[in-house]
Structure 1
Amino acid sequence: QRSIRYNHIWQVLLWWHNFFILWSTIDAQTRYSIPEELKQGSVVGNIARDLGLLVPELFRRKMRITSEAGKQYFNVDLGKGELLVTDRIDREELCGQRPSCLLPLELVIDNPLQVHRVEIEIQDTNDHSPSFLTKEKVVKIAELVNPGARFPLESATDPDVGANSVRTYLISKNEHFKLTVKNLKDGRKIPELVLEKALDRETQAVHNLILTAVDGGDPVRSGTSEIKVIVLDINDNAPQFEKQIYEANVSERSAIGTEILQVKASDADEGLNGQIEYVFAEQTSDIILSLFDINPSTGLITVKGVLDHESDSLHRFDVTAKDKGNPEMDGHCGVEIKINDVNDNNPEIVVTSLTTPVPEDSAIGTVIAIISTRDADSGDNGKVTLTLSPKSQFKLNPSISKHFSLVTNGPLDRETNSQYSVKITASDSGKPPLTSEKTIIVQILDVNDNPPVFSQSSYAVYVKENNAPGLMLCSVSASDLDSGENAKISYSILDSKVQDVSVSSYVYINSDNGSIYSMHSFDYEKLKVFQIQVQAKDQGSPSLSSNATVHVFILDQNDNTPAVIYPSSAALGSLSHQRMPRSAKAGHLVTKVTAVDADSGHNAWISYRLAEATDASLFTVNQYTGEVRTKRAVYEQDDSSQRLLIEIKDDGQPVQSATATVSILLEDGLHEPILDLRHKMSEPSKKTGRITLYLILSLASVSVLSLVTFLILAVKCIRGTRSSGSCCMRRSDCDDYKNPSRNLQIQLNTDGPIKYVEVLGGDMMSQSQSFRSCMSPMSEYSDFTLIKPSSTTDFKEVISVLDASLPDSTWTFESQQVSEFKVGHGVSKNMKCLNVLSTVNRSMIVKTENILL
């Protein structure tokens, strides 16, 4: 029982909760009563106080009024919350003769959405006087008519209603007639002229009376009509209708000629005095005459015009039956015709409030528009339902009486659709139903939700050294899917260092079009490659940005002449003095000319040529090594002083060259001093013995220390290779490697996606070199490419080879020079060894991906 009691309590609480929720969404109806013809600016009431609203919030919540009347008669003072009259209000124009005149208003408030229904009751004021349709009414009365006979007169019309309408009628003072008022069941008052005293045509043939209609207003208003009574002789019986009121129903779609009803009257007279003709009463309005017709002989009323239930659902008029006597007599009856509604009006869709454009990041449920429906038909024919097109980004939420709110039903994306066409269909409940459509265009407001996107994530630029300052290097481009300021892009270079100098000192960028220009001339010998981080930023709030990398490769130009290292030019200019014994045989090495070129590639390839010689048949110069040797044995007749001019050229375009002069003295017995020196050095002495001992001890100590250092370095190299996949490079154990004085340079470059090692080696006396490269890649997909430039391959072709991607199991080499390269795989799966033996002093570039050098 306790659980049942608790369940009952919870049900009661839940019912009250739902009731308060319903009460908060459907506001109670508010009504004001005002008289018509109020001055503009008159206060109807404090709508904010009556609805429980805060006046400071009215402007922020966009309070506004919509009226179904089509014309706006009221407005709200948002500063005071008062409802004001803004236009002339004529109750008769708005409501006609209806006793109650209500002007419905709708107050729409946003954030949150509220719709209040307010009704303004327009009270009638006595601003119209009664009036008659005809200013003079002729009444023909036979003189034989007995006292007490009644003659209906024209009733007055007054646009006012209630007490302000016609209250009574008065007749001017006379001795034959009095006036009575007949009250019909529809509320109309019909004045009747009652004969009190028999008429005598011979005494007075015409009686002129004044009929006055008086209303009940304050002050009283009145209207008059002149009644002219003509006394007729003879015909003393008027036609009499079977009914005082005839009623009928007819559809508004009835065709012209459709029979509605038949009135019938009879006359007790005979002959012409008894022949009846049916006509509409004299005061019948033009509207009735245009809609209906009556057969004068039969009294059959038919449709004459197009009927419309929405214009007027009920028509009232009078029919007169006249005889053909002399004087003519007539009788009267009333006719009421009700127009039945037919579903002949399409429903209407009225957009009372529309918010556009809408931000694309609007939350689901954001109110876009307030929509109401209207159908001039009645009953089921006037019940309207709304539907949206399928798969719409919007939906309709029902509000109060015939009102709907159009809200978002999904995410909006301006980049996909910059506007949406919302098609709304209205259908009534008639049979068959009628429909109408309305399309609402919802513009989508852009939000900065797309960053700029570069056409390429990485750019490669190749610039020849010694370029002119201000040269455009390249142009980067980015696009933004947004619009307006959100799509306006500016370009900038992110600060970074190139050789400890800010990159902004090397290049600058046009912030509008993304063109990158050099600040000064580049020198390949000082800077070979650098990278630029370019940022594209839009002007949105907040702004979005993205970056791209520009790799700038400086291309070498042949702008350096070969520099002679040996013989040294510091002492004797380019002249070198050498001595050679006359006993030298063919092939004797006299000297070696060594030169270097600061350029790279083909521009640094040096060749030697004997340009001039005292005796060209005696000496020769090796084209590649610069070694000066004898071509034959020295003859006795050869001059003892020989002069050689050696030309040194590079392989660039244009060719740069230098010269070296070697002076050779041919002497006899040049070897004897050397033999004497050796003889003297071989003589033992105590003093030299001590020196020799010290030298041996020092050499042994240095050797032991070198061996220990070598072992430590070897252990560290092996451990580092196993743990981190690094690469160690050491001297090859080649048999032909004899010269210990090597000058080996290894340069590691990692510029963006290109990783390469430049190996430069050589010495002053010999250009042959040998080294062993062992690599332990970090992944199965590493590759290693060795490229040797040749005289027929330019730098761009070298770069294209560098960009090639080789399989893991493939090792390639390209060369057109006389060189020896040994390439092979190691026995271990995780170790790849590359043996390279080079006999030419050239640059080698190693490209590797995904391996750690």
Structure 2
Amino acid sequence: LFAAVIKTATTVTHYSIPEEMEIGSVVANLAADLGLDVMSLNKRSMRLDVIANKKYLDVNKDTGELFIAEKVDRELLCNIKTSSCFLKMDVTIENPKRIFNIELEIVDINDNPPHFRRDTIHLDISESTSVGERFSLNNAVDPDFGSNSIKTYYLSESEHFSIEIQTGRDGSKFTDLILKKALDREEHAVHNLILTAVDGGVPARSGTASIIVRVLDTNDNAPQFDKDSYTINLMENSPIGSLVIKLNATDKDEGSNSEILYSFSLYTSEKTQSTFGLNPENGEIRVKEMINYEDFKIYNMEIIATDKGSNSLSGHCKITVVITDMNDNHPEISIKSFTSPVKEDIDVGTVIAVVSVSDKDSGENGQINVHISDKLPFKLKESSDYYYELVVSEPLDREKVPEYEITFTVTDRGTPPLSDNETMTLELLDVNDNVPQFPQLFYTIQVKENNAPGELLSSLTAHDPDLHENQYLVYFIIEKEIVNTSMSMLFSINPENGNLYALKTFDYEIEKEFLFHIEARDSGVPPLSSNVTVHVIIMDQNDNTPLIVSPWRAHGSVVEEKIPRSTDKGTLIAKVIAIDTDSVHNSRITYQFLQNTDATLFSLDQYNGEIRTMRMFSYRDSRHQRLVVIAKDNGEPSLSATVTIKLSTVETALKTYADMTEIPEYDIFSDLNLYLVIGLGSVSFLLLITILVTIVLKCQKPKPSKAGPPCRNSVISERNSTIADSTLVSNDAYWYSLFLAETRKGKLVVRQPVPKGSRYFVSSIPRSTGLTETSDSAASTLQVSI
């Protein structure tokens, strides 16, 4: 922060430091500069004697260092602007006694911003001041010295003012405000300027002052009227004191220069001045005496507006008062005939009423205009002099406007016009011209299966804007048979309010949706009707327990299997397949072990039901393993089924013997041939199913049932089932999964249609004549409805 500069003289030692130096900062090492031995300072007493400045500096008696004891402010020490500022002191050393003179120069830094003695400078300048006029401004002050003091001034942007900077003999800067464009108080009454003083320090510091220039007014604007001339129509016999016109003249100046007096000019006749009075303060012209149209029809006058300035200015306007004849007779109207009520479907052009009009005045005051109230579907037709017919001009609609208030108004052409009116009420009778309307064209109603018979499904209410019997609605279900069952056997609608009820309990697995129409018919003559489409969707509930179809159990829920003891890790031991006739998430099945003899030996895939070995068998493992698998659906609450698999391990020789006795036909189930067999089998099966279903539908007689047969327009998913990975797949996919599971055990899976009863038999036949056991050798048959 400082650079100590030692200037050695014969008798005085000079040092230089910047002001505001930190307390504790070392200025110089006096012992070294004065040629003293530091080691002897302990034996010799050293003291600092600073006249009037001792508080700023001190000496370390151990090291002989001169340091700052308190911050030094050059502006406080040297209050007069000089080029140099010194602190003088003496250093005294005892034994032997020696005195040294020291001079410390304080170097100025830019630690003070410029500031104005007043933050705001007010100037009053007349708008008549000449361009180039100068106005002295208070200069700013900066206690810093030299380049750190004020360097220049800046003025905020202004089109009317600029500044000129002057330099005094002592080097100080001051400025004058110069008017560079003429002022106009009416355009801009106050000018706000900012004067900024900037010093020459690095970085520079600045201070600002606000200059408020108030422009003083001069009488340089003449009064002006709103208009140069006025034409006024005034009725004869206007009451004395009636206001003819209130003149308004304005003056852009202020104070007395804008105060105005009104007066008649010399060009205004005495007759006019005696007929009309003028208020000199507010410019009101009023009637002073009775006006007669037969005496004077037109009055001309000139009015002068004069301001109260020292050099007064004035403006003038001309007024023409036109006297008009008085219209003192009202026109009359009389209704001669009127028909009400009428039907809303009355023909356009039909005459509703006949009226007559009259007025006792003559000329313009006796001429009459006749009209009816706006926005009505009627018009007036003149039939003869002073007679008019009211006819229908547009089709009428009672539902939009049930009745009309028709007002006949007659107005003469006098000034001001006089008028009279007569009102009649036309009532419309309803006809059946509106079809019942439902709020929606299509209704979708969701019903949970297993609903209670008689349950309210929805309220289908239509609206008819007609009246009375034309408005009374009756609701019907449009009959439609579904598999020899009419809709009225499934649903019922209240004919009075449109409430729709279910007449039976629905089963999602049999009936998934119904589509029919409901008609709303009014009681008019002839009746009008409309219908709406209703889509009833049966919502699935979790009411079907999963059915385990693989591995097949001939009796009970226990399956016995034999596996070689040398089975490798990851070998598929069995595949549990369950199906659920529910839909969507209710049919998604997951598999878990309820019981596992050795949890480290077998694993179960929770999604596809595959049971695989987690490691090879060891001699410590039991030969008999018991696995209990539970298949749970995803419904709320969840339903489940279980299967028990008893595994018995056999020695490798038995498996080898089984492999030796396997018939060659097993080789057809290589990967490629397997896919071909599956493809051909699937196509053949679909064709066979199509033929069988067609024959059954043609030949089978309908059987009576409480629940009713499934509807034809229901979404029937009897061939759909959910297996393994909880994905909705076709019936053939299920057969394929079962086929893979059974063929891994060396069996053929055969599906056979059977007449009347279950849909198919599933036969599992052993394909090997080697190892035979009761559970494997005998053909197992499962009767499943798919």
Tell me which interval the TM-score lies in, with the shorter structure as reference length. 0.3 to 0.5
TM-score normalised according to structure 2 size: 0.40
- Report which structure shows greater RCO (CA 8 Å, sep ≥6): 2
TM-score by length of 1: 0.37
